[in-house]
Amino acid sequence: MLLFIFLLYAVALSTALGLKGVRTSGPAHGGDAMPPDPNATRVLIIGATGGTGRQLVAQALDRGFHVTAFVRNPSVVRLEHPRLRVVRGDVLDPLSLNDAVRGQHAVVCALGHKRFFAPTRILSDGTRNVLQEMKASGVKRFVCETALGLGDTAGRMGLSYTLFVIPAVLPFYFWDKARQERIIAESDAHWVIVRPSVLTDDTPRGRYHYGAGIGSFVTTRRIARADVAAFMLNQVTDNTYLRSAPGVSW
């Protein structure tokens, strides 16, 4: 009986995450009306000390970007580079975002945390603060990492995640991710939401699937953080998925 009730809860949660998240994962329509900036050279990376964030910083520097890493603790950033600037701040403190956002061509967000077992608004409130500062500073392009399992990818993390991991371990985290997506979609930024499958620290393959219909309702797919970072950086100067939420997975 308890198992049946838990399964009902898991299905209800997956349905709610589908309704709460953004429901547009295919290529954008009419994106040519807002051409990307092919000369974008300055990028701010939010969550720069996380797994995906570290890959974003390193790869952005390799691509020739001038990178600003926004972090709570600058001592954690081990990388040194003439085109890297480290700014101390907290996304929940709007004033600390001002200097970091000003003058950027794009903001790439890999915000995350490990407060899994209590209600939280770190992702949604932090993203709202970033978007508000972007609007005040005239910065348009926003690329943000969330996850499969939201919006029109609900259930696509595979049965083990849909029926156990998300409802038992990550319900508050995923609900805040769904709120985060909704805030992004309601903004006037030129946004792209990137939804990876389960993240790993494996060696990047350089080849992966992306767009609509990514993931599986049965098996759990994975992808290296480095491959996700590469796809996210592609969105800085590409309008294919403008104002949509493509999935990405091996």
pLDDT digits (tens, 9 = 90+) for 51-75: 999 999 999 999 999 999 999 999 9
Cβ distance 150 to 20 under 8 Å? yes
Count Cβ atoms below 10 Å from residue 93 Cβ, excluding itself: 12
- Residue 30 region by backbone torsions, left for phi larger than 0, else alpha for psi between -120 and 50, else beta: left
The predicted model scores a pTM of 0.94
Q: Which residues pair with 247 in a beta bridge?
A: 195, 211
Enter the tokens of residue 123.
Answer: 């992702």
Cβ distance 191 to 185 under 8 Å? yes
Residue 25 has a pLDDT of: 66
Q: Give 133-153 pLDDT, tens digit per residue.
A: 999 999 999 999 999 999 999
Instruction: Write down all domains in the chain, each with its CATH number in brackets.
Output: 40-249 (3.40.50.720)
Count Cβ atoms below 10 Å from residue 143 Cβ, excluding itself: 27
Q: Mean pLDDT score of the chain, rounded to an integer?
A: 94
* % the chain with pLDDT above 70: 94
Q: Which residues pair with 224 in a beta bridge?
A: 200
Mean pLDDT of 27-40: 59
